[in-house]
Structures are given as C-alpha cells and as structure tokens.
Structure 1
C-alpha cells in the first residue's frame, strides 16, 4: 500500500532536517527512512529526520535520526525549528512549549514577529562531563585532556549537552582538515558510542568561530548542542565569559550560561525552507 507523507524541510543556522508530524502521518522504521530521505541526490536531502509526536509528560515530543539512521538524544537546532513548526502551523498557541526529548524535557520560549516565530530560546539544561577514561584512572570532568590521533596530540574538552561533544580549540580554524580528522575523532577508541567533534577559534569580544563534525551526519552547517558545548568549554578553560556568540558555517547562535540556574540558554533563528510530499510504500 502506498501512502503520501507530508513533510516540511526546515533549518536552524543551516542545520537542515525533514520534519514530519507523526500525529497525522505515522512512520515506522524511521532509521531506514532517514537514510533514504536524507540522501542529497536521490532523496530530499538533509542532515536527518525529525519526528514530532505526543507526550504524556510534555506538550509534544521529538525524536531525531541522523543521516546515517542512528538516533540522537537531542538537537538544539531541531528543537528551535519544532517550536516554529508547532506555532506557525497552529498546533499550539503557546509561546512557552515543553518538549519531550531523549535527553529530558526542554523548554522552548518562542519570539514572535508579525504573528510568526522568528527566533527561539531553548533551555538546554545543565551541562555535564561526557565520560572518557583518558588516563586509565577515570575522566577529569570538563577540563582539557590530551587525545592523540595519527601521532598528533590535541587538547580536548568533553561536554555533554544531552549528547556527547569533544571541543578542541585551535589558533586558526581554517588549518583544520575536518573531513579527515573529524571521523577519526568521532570513532576514537576513547568514545565507544562515538562523539560529536567541534573545532573552535576564539575571535574576541565574546565571539567564537566553530566548525563541526556531527556523529552520524559528518560535516554540517551548524550544531546547536555543539555551540552550547563550545561556549561551556570556552568558559571553563578561561577563554570566554558566560555569554558568547558562536559563529558556524550556516549562521550564529547566542549562548548564555546562566550563573544562577547553571542552565545553558541557546537563542537563534528557525527557518522554513519548503513543504513537500513523498510517497511511502508500506
């Protein structure tokens, strides 16, 4: 049997996903569909597939699948886009939305212009160390630690923002051969579940330039949780204050690590690209 699935393609700072409202269009085997639909030449083309659903703990739920079919626990850019999707398509009239994710319930605060959402602030919660047994005696939480690849040593900070990140600061980000080093760090033996990799350069005046190799998707234009992890790592290593603008290939995000609550707040735009339909054979 063939069904027509309606979808919306959206992006946050260039990080683009396919969004499906599963309350209207139920989907089975999203892992396989994400691989097929995300393909740039034979599919829709995206960094992955995002499913919007119901929740008995929050207003709505989110499941996110990378372009390789693996499921992610959280995505900052996708959560902002979900906020815009829900409000602009009339699924809610709330401007404060509780979103159920695999990394817990996230709070979305929608900012409106002319009756539509133009940016969203997401409460990303409290950052944590992403364990890595660097020295055989246990990880040193959220401090720079050495990591070696092909005989070259890097200083990396592991941070969890609902999913795992390795942040490495460099003097010149343009010198980083990300297509080569990214997959090697993602699949380093220190990280049996793989890891997202961010290279970052401090520009001054609260600005940080960042490039990302995402676990399961490769090079992407932006990563919301990665921007948060980078801002946290910059503060912890004395490179920046609690407020940062993280500049990525696809755009910028404002990150604030609140001193009172210890929560990381991420603000950025959410953009609809187009609506579409695709045939699905059950």
Structure 2
C-alpha cells in the first residue's frame, strides 16, 4: 500500500531541506524512509528532513532528521528554513516562537531574511590546534590559511570518527579562514550528512564565537560559505558564556511536490 506525501523543498545558503507540514501527525517516521527521501539519486534529495508539528504554548515544533534518517541535534539553517515554511503557511506574520530539540527559539521573518535566535552557549574549549563548543550541535573549529585548498571531507571525516570525538558520537568539523576583521570564510563537514555541506548554521555560529575568543571581535561577524553569506551577532554575558545569539540570512522556497512511498 502506498502513501502520497506532500512536501516543500527549502534552502538556506545552499543547505537544503525537505519540509513537511505534519500538524495532523500522519507522516510515517522511519529512518529508512527519511534516508530514502533525502537520497540525491533515488529520492527527493536534501541535507535533511524537517517536520513542522503543533506544540502547546508555541507557534510550532521543529523536528529535524539528518540525511541518514536519524533524528538530529539543532540545525540552524534548518531552523531558518522551518521559520520561512511556517511563515509561508500563514502560521505567523512577523515574529514567532517555536520549540526544537534544544529548547525554545524566537525568530523574525521579512521577505528576504530570517533572523533566528540561537540557544545560549556556555563554554568554549580552546585546544592547541582547535576549539570545541556546542551551539545546539557539537562543533570542532580550526583556523587555516586557505580554506579553498583544505581537504574538508578527508580531514573532517578523520576528526569526526577519530579517537577523541568518535566514541562520543562524533562532531561537525569547521575549517575557517580569516578574510579581514569580522569577516570569515568557512567550510563544514557535517555529521549525519557525512559530507561537506554548502553551509551549516550552527557551524558558522560556532565559528563566530570562536573568532571572538581568539580575536576579541564583537560582531556582527560576516561568514562566507560555499552557499552564500550569513551574519552572526551575539553578546558575551560572562567569560565564555554567550547569549542573544542571532543567525541571520536568507531562507528560500525552491519547489513543492508530492512523492509516493510504500
């Protein structure tokens, strides 16, 4: 027996997602089905799949799944795309409050840009060659001279599955080049996708906070990714404690359609 699923595809600086309106709780969640839908040869193709659900006390709930079908941690660009989806559905007009796996979020939408408030960040581990912090998802941040020449997939996979992070469930890996004051270039290897993505929202947030720790930048920090540019603003309210973190950038509808699944 087959089921027809209505979906909409969105992208935020090239980070692309399948969005489903699941307020009626009918989507048949399974790791195999989600991985199939996200497959770029045999499915719709996406970096992840997101369900928009009802949530008491909030405008909606965001439930995010990685491209491998497993439920994931917070996704910043996915959050911005979900806000755009909810806005397109008429759930809110300009300001919204929703809940995700890492807690409550606020966002503002206009015709071009989504301004998403990220969760507070406590603690930034500075090691000799990298920083590690959690911005809703775990992130390894290392600075390089020329990010365009960096072997992102090879190095990222080695770090993600290595002796330090592999036993802990792995980590996302960000390679960062300083362009000028308050301006970075970033490329990211994402766990769950297990490849480089065009952009990673929690990743660029981590890189902006790391730049503050290293260079004292106060923001806003502009971050160029392969999929476009994002902006991150923040406040350090105590040593290595950050709040009022906003991830700002475009989120756009690509197309809508339907797919039949068994």
- TM-score, normalised to structure 1, is 0.86
Q: Which moved more, 1:54-63 or 1:192-201?
A: 54-63
Instruction: Report the aligned-residue RMSD.
Output: 1.6
* 1:195-214 correspondence to structure 2 within 5 Å: 195-214=171-190
* 1:44-193 correspondence to structure 2 within 5 Å: 44-90=44-90, 92-111=91-110, 117-129=111-123, 142-146=124-128, 155-191=129-165, 192-193=168-169
Match of 1:38 in 2: 38
Match of 1:151 in 2: none
Match of 1:274 in 2: 255
Residues 13, 198 of structure 2: 8 Å contact kept: yes
Q: Provide the secondary structure at the position in 2 that maps to 1:72.
A: coil
The structural deviation recorded for 1:185 is 0.8
The structural deviation recorded for 1:31 is 2.1
In the alignment, the residues of structure 1 paired with residue 134 and residue 213 of structure 2 have an alpha-carbon distance, to the nearest angstrom, of 14
Say yes or no: does 1:233 pair with 2:207.
no
In the alignment, the residues of structure 1 paired with residue 46 and residue 112 of structure 2 have an alpha-carbon distance, to the nearest angstrom, of 21
Residues 178, 213 of structure 1: 8 Å contact kept: yes
In the alignment, the residues of structure 2 paired with residue 27 and residue 3 of structure 1 have an alpha-carbon distance, to the nearest angstrom, of 9
In the alignment, the residues of structure 1 paired with residue 214 and residue 48 of structure 2 have an alpha-carbon distance, to the nearest angstrom, of 32
Residues 127, 263 of structure 1: 8 Å contact kept: no
The structural deviation recorded for 1:56 is 2.0
Q: Provide the secondary structure at the position in 1 that maps to 2:5.
A: strand
The structural deviation recorded for 1:263 is 2.2
The structural deviation recorded for 1:34 is 2.0
Residues 144, 237 of structure 1: 8 Å contact kept: no
- TM-score, normalised to structure 2, is 0.92
Match of 1:137 in 2: none
Q: Which runs of 5 or more residues in structure 2 are unaligned?
A: none
In the alignment, the residues of structure 2 paired with residue 60 and residue 98 of structure 1 have an alpha-carbon distance, to the nearest angstrom, of 8
Match of 1:7 in 2: 7
In the alignment, the residues of structure 1 paired with residue 32 and residue 244 of structure 2 have an alpha-carbon distance, to the nearest angstrom, of 35
In the alignment, the residues of structure 2 paired with residue 30 and residue 246 of structure 1 have an alpha-carbon distance, to the nearest angstrom, of 35
